[in-house]
Amino acid sequence: MSDKKKIEIRDLTKIYGDGVEVRALDGVDLDIEKGEFLAIIGPSGSGKSTLLNMIGILDTPTSGTILLDGIDITTASQRQRSKIRNQKLGFIFQYHHLLPDFNAIENVMMPLLINGIKKSKAKKIACEMLEEVGLYDRANHRPNQLSGGQNQRVAIARALANNPDIVIGDEPTGNLDSKSSDIIYDLLRKLNKEHDQTFILVTHDERMAEKTDRIIRLVDGKIVENSKVE
């Protein structure tokens, strides 16, 4: 039954603060199917990014479980978490977070090298990825020689380099003008279809959310809307 479900979130709660308690997430239940393209939306401070960080195992919940392929990732060891992040997850942030000392192709190679893949093979894969995001001709440019949209495309290529099951985007178009945003959105959508990867995007942009398969709306750490987009 659960073989098609990639992510099962049960009663996920995150409480911040020692003195003044802040419930960033409050008993969230959510199932995400393989290959879904969904948007998490909500006002600032609603817990969107916190939820995303939990799914990306960058952060640990106060209580509750997240099953990834049936394995509870909230209790995984540091080493396991690093391995899962490297092989099963791809991250795209609002800011591209490319390593400034490395050129585009080296940045895309990085998750592959961390995965223990040989440099020559990593370079080959990175070339293909750059081609897929349309930046093969910029392979040797460093981040400061590329535009914001281009850098974000390099970051997408990097996120997809290890062919992850799940791609997590935290406001991936938040820093871009609408034209660049559309390019990025179309790219993500295309990749989602081609690779059958699960895409989970946090966004402010209702217009962009409308173009996904499903919208999860969070308010005060609770899911208030979970609806398929027609």
Partner 1 sequence: MYELFIAIRHLTSRRRQTVLSVIGIGLAVMILMVSQASIVGLNQVLYTSIVDKIPHVIIKPGPDEDHIYLYNSFVEDIKNIDGVIGVSPVLFGQATFEYKSHSRNVIMQGIHVDDHDSVLGINGYITHGSFRDLEMSHNSVVLGDALADKLDVKIDDLIDASFPQAYPATLKVVGIYDSGTPQDESLAFTSLSTARDFFDVSSVVNSILIRVDDPDTAHLVSDSINNPGVVASSWMETNPEILQLSKLKSISNIILMGLIIIIASFSMVSTIFMMVMGKTKEIGMLMAMGASRRSISVIFLLESGIMGFIGPVLGVAVGILICLQIGSITMDMGEGSFGGESAFPFIVRIRDAVVIVLFTFILNLLGGIIPARRASTLDPVEALSSE
Looking at residue 223, the DSSP 8-state letter turns out to be E
Spatial separation of the C-alpha atoms in residues 51 and 221, rounded to whole Å: 9
Q: Quick one: which segment of 14-22, 97-105, 192-200, 219-227 binds partner 1 (CB under 8 A)?
A: 97-105
Closest approach, Cβ 158 to partner 1, in A, equals 8
Burial call 70-103: b when 16+ CB within 10 Å, e when fewer: eeebbebeeeebeebbbebbbbbbbebebeeeeb
- Residue of the chain from 6, 14, 138, 158 that contacts partner 1 (CB under 8 A): 158
Residue 138 has a CB neighbour count (10 Å cut-off) of: 20
Burial of 59 (0-12, 13-18, 19+ CB in 10 A): middle
Q: Quick one: which segment of 18-26, 90-98, 184-192, 213-221 binds partner 1 (CB under 8 A)?
A: 90-98
Q: Is there binding between residue 175 and partner 1 (CB under 8 A)? A: no
Residues 32-71 as x/- pattern, contact with partner 1 by CB under 8 A: ---------------------x--x-xx------------
Q: Is there binding between residue 75 and partner 1 (CB under 8 A)? A: no
Q: Quick one: which segment of 8-16, 24-32, 83-91, 181-189 binds partner 1 (CB under 8 A)?
A: 83-91
Burial call 167-205: b when 16+ CB within 10 Å, e when fewer: bbbbbbbbbbeeebbebbbebbeebbeebebbbbbbbeb
Q: Quick one: which segment of 74-82, 143-151, 210-218, 222-230 binds partner 1 (CB under 8 A)?
A: 74-82
User: What is the DSSP secondary-structure string of 149-171?
Assistant: HHHHHHHHHHHHTT--SEEEEES
- Residue of the chain from 18, 21, 101, 230 that contacts partner 1 (CB under 8 A): 101
Closest approach, Cβ 219 to partner 1, in A, equals 21
For binding to partner 1 (CB under 8 A), which residues are involved? 53, 56, 58-59, 78-79, 82-87, 89, 91, 93, 97-102, 110-111, 113-115, 158
